[in-house]
Amino acid sequence: MNPFEALGLGPELIRAVTDLGFEKPTPIQEETIPAVLATNDDLIALAQTGTGKTAAFGLPIQEQLDILLSEVQALILSPTRELCIQIHKDLESYSKYLPDLKQTAIYGGSDIVKQIKALKNKPQIVVGTPGRVLDLIGRKVLKVGNIKWLVLDEADEMLNMGFKDELDSILETTPKEKRTLLFSATMPDAVLKIAKKYMHEPREITSGQRNVGAENVRHQFYMVHARDRYEALKRIADINPSIYGIVFCRTRQETKDVADKLKNDGYNADALHGDLSQAQREYVMKGFRSKHLQMLVATDVAARGLDVNDLTHIINYNLPDELEIYIHRSGRTGRAGKSGISISIIHTRESNKIRNLEKITGKKFEKKLVPTGREICEKQLFNLVDRMEKTEVDEAQIGEYMDVIYKKLEWLSREDLIKRFVSVEFNRFLDYYKNASDLNVREEKERRKRPDVEIKQARSFSRFFINLGSKNKITPPKVIGLINDYTKRRDLAIGKIDIMKNFSFFEVDQQFEKDVLRGFKKATFEGIPVSVEISKPDTKQGRAEGKRERLKEKKKGKKKRR
């Protein structure tokens, strides 16, 4: 027996869900479907995104509809047109063996004349957004006076988006005898007020614990200065070459800005926000679903209703103002038994938000260091080699060209040939991340805990001379980048950095003295061989040495001017 049959569904619906590959009901479906079929209770169902809510309310409603009755019997409200369209598509797929069942979707941003025509065709189920539904009720085209079911899907988000007045107006128009099914990921006060005002002793179903993150999702955060947020995003994308995820921003403008920057920098990314036309949104989503786009940059509102599987990452470019929304975001990855990663890019003043999120989700958030240029280049190199190794060769397609290619490349040795093919794509990463600076920052509390590392002490630091100065466009961040890259370490403490015109000084924890000297043996900076030697520490003698070097530079400058 099909597990869905045991829930009380008829053969037509069982056949349809079998075609869709539904093997067993999700927890929310297992509890909701019998409750809707076997009782007349109103229902509050608390469930996260991606738990199968549409089937939980859609299947039992379709099972009980009077197909011979040509009027609206069920009204389903959703916060966004994307979710509205998705629910309508799902309902149509469930009812493929119920040819007389009519369903339509009505939402803003689309031709209202076509929607009016669809309503005149007398559908039994209408899925709509609050604004368009109220508009069509006001035009007396959508008649909801005899509905038997009212579904509020993503009720918390509808209220967050400011639809309270529209919901009140719609709910007051519907009959009191109807059944109201409210689905929400969270239960803020505004949702509780709606339930108390319009629902009669509702039964409550919870799928999993309230406000708990998905089990298969790892939570990570990177701490950077606000000005380095975009650079950190690029490094996160580069260290994960197979990334397929959503980047969440706070505002439409930020979404546009970040997506434009990513596209200009050569990433497969695009934006999804409220200013796009329906045709533009569908174009973007088609590219994302087909994985031609690796990253979708979106606001929370625009991303509502997106049903995309196999996401590897969710990236919070900014944490949401309401931390419960974080659960909505992170729940979009780690589905269907697969693992996923939810990443947050934060600044030092947001540490308390991370601690609050750990309490809300019951999960530990791992602090990660923004990868260095060297780490990214290594990851990209091995990714390129893996791709080349797994590439299937079609002899029929390339065979006729191989003789010419062999002749053209016969002067190259095997080693040279491999180096050149790898370098074709790899060189851009080497060029871009050469001398990249360290973006990581530590919390003030963390610095206070480690005075031996973070606070300069003359006796524990070694002072180095480097033959690069301001004339080479060297800066303290670039010096730090060189140290990190050539020592292949990021755990060493860096002290004072003094930039002169023709050379500079920097300090590094004394225990890493050999690492620095060894690392810089064959170092270069923009084609210039780099020389690093131990200098005097920053004591009176060291400062005197620095003063002498500055005087030498000053005298050289005077001679040149003469």
CATH number at residue 460: 3.30.70.330
Question: What is the token pair recorded at 525?
Answer: 């900076």
Residue ending a domain, among 164, 181, 206, is 206
Domain check: are 515 and 498 in the same one? yes
Domain check: are 496 and 419 in the same one? no
Q: How long is the chain?
A: 562
The amino acid at residue 5 is E
Domain check: are 273 and 154 in the same one? no
Residue ending a domain, among 370, 385, 412, is 370
Residue ending a domain, among 173, 206, 239, is 206
Q: Read off the pTM.
A: 0.56
Domain check: are 138 and 166 in the same one? yes
Domain check: are 507 and 400 in the same one? no
Question: What is the token pair recorded at 505?
Answer: 């000084």
Measured between alpha carbons, how far is 281 from 306 in angstroms, rounded to an integer?
Answer: 11
Looking at the chain, the whole-number percentage of residues with pLDDT higher than 70 is 88
Measured between alpha carbons, how far is 447 from 451 in angstroms, rounded to an integer?
Answer: 7
Domain check: are 15 and 154 in the same one? yes
Which pLDDT belongs to residue 240?
94
Beta bridge partners of 103: 125
Determine, yes or no, domain membership for 296: yes
Domain check: are 29 and 148 in the same one? yes
Q: Which domain range does residue 122 map to?
A: 5-206
Instruction: Kindly report the CATH number assigned to the domain that includes residue 250.
Output: 3.40.50.300
Domain check: are 347 and 201 in the same one? no
Which pLDDT belongs to residue 399?
84
Determine, yes or no, domain membership for 497: yes
Terminal Cα-to-Cα distance of the chain (whole angstroms):
99
Which pLDDT belongs to residue 106?
96
Which pLDDT belongs to residue 305?
59
Place of tokens 């009755």: 69
Domain check: are 62 and 154 in the same one? yes
Which pLDDT belongs to residue 453?
39
Determine, yes or no, domain membership for 211: no
Task: Give pLDDT < 50 ranges for the chain.
Answer: 209-212, 447-459, 538-542, 562
CB atoms within 10 A of CB 538: 19
* Residue 190, Cβ density class (10 Å: 0-12 exposed, 13-18 middle, ≥19 buried): middle
CB atoms within 10 A of CB 537: 19
Domain check: are 201 and 226 in the same one? no
Which pLDDT belongs to residue 443?
59
Determine, yes or no, domain membership for 551: yes
Of the candidates 268, 233, 235, 236, the one whose C-alpha atom is nearest the C-alpha of residue 254 is: 233
Of the candidates 12, 18, 53, the one whose C-alpha atom is nearest the C-alpha of residue 33 is: 53
Which pLDDT belongs to residue 15?
93
Domain check: are 252 and 325 in the same one? yes
Determine, yes or no, domain membership for 186: yes
Torsion sign (Cα): 102, 108, 110, 114 = positive
Structural domains of the chain, count: 4
Determine, yes or no, domain membership for 130: yes
Measured between alpha carbons, how far is 176 from 126 in angstroms, rounded to an integer?
Answer: 19
Of the candidates 72, 119, 123, the one whose C-alpha atom is nearest the C-alpha of residue 98 is: 123
Burial 338-358 (b: 16+ CB within 10 A, else e): eebbbbbbbbeebbebbeebe
Determine, yes or no, domain membership for 445: no
Identify whether the C-beta of residue 146 lies closer than 8 Å to the C-beta of residue 93: no
Domain check: are 20 and 161 in the same one? yes
Which pLDDT belongs to residue 539?
47
Which pLDDT belongs to residue 54?
92
Determine, yes or no, domain membership for 330: yes
